[in-house]
Amino acid sequence: MNIDSNPYKDFKSGFAVIAGAPNAGKSTLLNAMIGQKISITSEKPQTTRNRIAGIVHGQKSQIIFIDTPGIHDSKKVFNKRIVDVALSAIDDMDMVLVVADAARPDPASEELIIRKLRKRKRVSAILALNKIDLVPGPAILTQIDQWARRMDFEEIVPVSAAKGTQVEELVAEMARRLPEGPPYFPEDSITDVPERFIAAEIIREKIFRLTGQEIPYSTAVTIEEFSTDPSTGLVRILAVIHVERSSQKGIIIGKQGSLLKKIGTQARAEIKRMVGAKVFLELFVRVEKNWSKDTRALRRLGY
């Protein structure tokens, strides 16, 4: 036996932050790279609010991706807070993956990201030009050229996160540029956030998808109980949906509780797939007046 053998010889590992404008498809791309859903998605912008780590394992590499909220200019207390979270995540990373929407560019938000990257003395940045399935080929080539003029990216990879187009190629390009080092997480790990956090996010996703106007942006979800019965394996979850006004509470609950029931039914089915066990999910709606404008309330709700 060779006592000097190193199982991680030539192994590469590192952290990569995913940055982009709202609705660029960052979370969809993260889920596609991992091959499993850990970050919630919807067609509404600003669905992601927290930094979420997703781990992609290669034969000789491990990339820890940090998904972040959409970067945009806003004067609202809550929006400024989550944008600060996204921008701060760019610091101290091995690599930055900028995700841009080829179908609906957002020059103002994209410029915020570019300015942040230029402030770093040394930055390894790759651009994923997403949603190419929605754009004609010549327009994609034009956008690649325009992006190359805006910033000197190490690589620009056109992808479709929704279709899985060139996602593996993107991961390979990033893995090739990682620093050498051992893995940070075991091979069976796909995220660093607990199941109770993902459960809260799943509930919030259903609210985003089933409600309109300002309702999704005026809601937060906290988990007050997440336990497993050792004798039956049943997972019991008690979750609270926080809203800002009584009228919003009425909308979330719906006529005779119909909408709240629908939210619960869809969320329970997805949480069941995640935990691999039967789930009892109980939802409550609580009015937390103007929580998105109150810094103390934001901290209490996990933002």
Q: What is the pLDDT of residues 123-171, one digit of tens each?
A: 689 999 999 999 998 999 999 999 999 999 999 999 999 999 999 999 9
pLDDT at 11: 94
Bigger pLDDT: 182 vs 42? 182
Of 278 and 81, the structure prediction assigns the larger pLDDT to 278
- The lowest-confidence range among 179-193, 245-259, 288-302 is 288-302
SS3 content of the chain, % helix, strand, coil (to 5): 40, 25, 35
Strands 52-57 and 61-67: antiparallel
Radius of gyration of the chain measured on its C-alpha atoms: 21
Q: Which domains does the chain have, with CATH numbers?
A: 12-176 (3.40.50.300), 195-300 (3.30.300.20)
Q: Output 47-51 pairs: Cβ under 8 A, ≥24 positions apart.
A: 47/205, 47/208, 47/216, 49/82, 49/303, 50/82, 50/85, 50/302, 50/303, 51/85, 51/86, 51/89
Confidence of residue 244 (pLDDT cuts 50, 70, 90): very high
The closest of 207, 276, 201 to 235, measured between CA atoms, is: 276
Output 135 or 192, whichever has higher pLDDT: 135
pLDDT of residue 1: 46
For 166-197, letters b (16+ CB in 10 Å) and e give bbeebbebbbeebeeeebeeeeeebbbbebbb
Of 2-6, 49-53, 154-158, 231-235, where does mean pLDDT reach its minimum? 2-6
Least Cα distance to 63 among 203, 155, 165, 191 occurs for 191
pTM above 0.95, yes or no: no
Say yes or no to pLDDT of 4 above 70.
no
Residue pair 73/53 in contact by the 8 Å Cβ criterion: no
The chain-wide mean pLDDT, for the chain, equals 87
Tokens 């009425």 -> residue: 250
